[in-house]
Amino acid sequence: MDRNSLLPKARPASRRPLQGAFRSTAGRQRLLDLCAVLLFLLLLPYACSLLFGKGDVGEETLAVPRDESSIMVACDTGIGVSRLPLETYVEGALAASIPADCEEETLKAQAIILRTLCMRAYENRQSIDDNTVYARDIGQEYLDMRSREALWEDSYEEKQAKIASAAAQTKGMYMTWEGQIIEPAYFWLSAGKTRNGKEVFGEGYDYLISVDCSHDIEASGYSSTVTLKEKDFWAAMGVDGSEKITLTRDSAGYVLWVEAAGIHMSGEKFRSLFSLQSACFTISENGGNVTLESKGVGHGLGFCQFEANRRAVQGEDFLALLHVFFEGVEIQKTE
């Protein structure tokens, strides 16, 4: 027998294994191409932000709270209505509500006042299932970063650092009186002393006491005048020029009521009607003109920022300042 017949016969080469290898390689390549496309799509927004994100776009980076049940504040910003975490709002509201040149302790006290207003609005919200309060209910506007830069210009970094520090160091702090969140009014400059809350609002505002602020007379802009023609004044009042006007004042000298025949309006409404700086005003007539002279800046209730800052310069801390203007309050802290 031929020896070669005992050897295994060589099989003719087959193309199938080679074709399978090509198909496997092509499949992997298609998978890699697909992954590359998906990766490109995922990175496209980031790439665009790198290329175009430094333009003049009205955007602000905001911290988003991990706990979505925490208090949020809806307010107008440079990019429309935004929902901001409570502490983010407090910082921006602080920038809008008091000069950043004030002492650090004054800024801390103001931050607690603003947070208290937020907590009060949150407590009085219409739906307990809603964790959002509105800046219009709080009564204080918000300045976003772009607005702060425009306001402070070259001193932006210094003033922003002060504002951010005051908000951060008082994080979560707010005021209560007899277990209830207070309504902590504030203003810039008094007519000589702050007003008594019970005289203005009645019961329940015992913490708004009258505080001596006699140094306020030294401030720039302490007094101002508005002069009108008699006919324009009476036309704005809506009464005959022959009518006698009676002013009812509180113990701090602010006008509570303005009365004439057919007219009974609050001193604050009168102040708004004639764009006066405060409701501590006098009315005088001379040579066909009416002169309205006002003293102080603001409604005169609660925290007088000018006097508080004077005390802060002398060494009083933010807790002492708050207890001066809000008698008997306690400082609470959110969790």
- Residue 121 to residues 71, 302, 317, 334, Cα–Cα distance (Å): 11, 18, 27, 15
The pLDDT tens digits of the residues spanning 106-124 come to 999 999 999 999 999 999 8
The pLDDT tens digits of the residues spanning 213-241 come to 999 999 999 999 999 999 999 999 887 77
201 vs 62, residue with greater confidence: 201
Helix axes 305-313, 318-325, angle to 10 degrees: 140
Distance CA 41, CA 64 (A): 25
Mean pLDDT of 177-191: 97
Q: What is the per-residue pLDDT for 30?
A: 57
Q: What is the per-residue pLDDT for 185?
A: 96
The most confident of the ranges 27-31, 45-49, 191-195, 262-266 is 191-195
Q: What is the per-residue pLDDT for 275?
A: 97
DSSP 1-67: --GGGGSPPPPPP-SHHHHHHHHHHHHHHHHHHHHHHHHHHHHHHHHHHHHHTTSS---------S-
Residue 327 has pLDDT above 80, yes or no: yes
Instruction: Report the relative pairing of strands 223-229 and 289-295 from DSSP bridges.
Output: antiparallel
Instruction: Report the relative pairing of strands 132-134 and 72-77 from DSSP bridges.
Output: parallel
Share of residues in the chain with pLDDT > 70 (%): 78
CB-based burial label for 68 (10 Å; 0-12, 13-18, 19+) = exposed
Mean pLDDT of 18-32: 46
Instruction: Provide the β-strand partners of residue 259.
Output: 246, 264
Residue 332 has pLDDT above 70, yes or no: yes
Backbone angles phi, psi at 255, to 5 degrees: -80, 125
Residue 84 has pLDDT above 60, yes or no: yes
Contact present, 74 and 89 (Cβ < 8 Å): no
Residue 16 has pLDDT above 60, yes or no: no
Residue 3 has pLDDT above 70, yes or no: no
The most confident of the ranges 24-28, 49-53, 291-295 is 291-295
With bands split at pLDDT 50, 70 and 90, how would you rate the model's confidence at 78?
low
Return the amino acid letter for 20: G
Residue 17 has pLDDT above 70, yes or no: no
Residue 27 has pLDDT above 90, yes or no: no
Which residues lie below 8 Å from residue 205, measured CB to CB, with a gap of 6+? 183, 197, 198
Mean pLDDT of the chain: 84
Which residues lie below 8 Å from residue 87, measured CB to CB, with a gap of 6+? 167, 168, 171
Q: Which of 47-51, 147-151, 254-258 has the lowest mean pLDDT?
A: 47-51
Q: Which of 11-15, 94-98, 258-262 has the lowest mean pLDDT?
A: 11-15
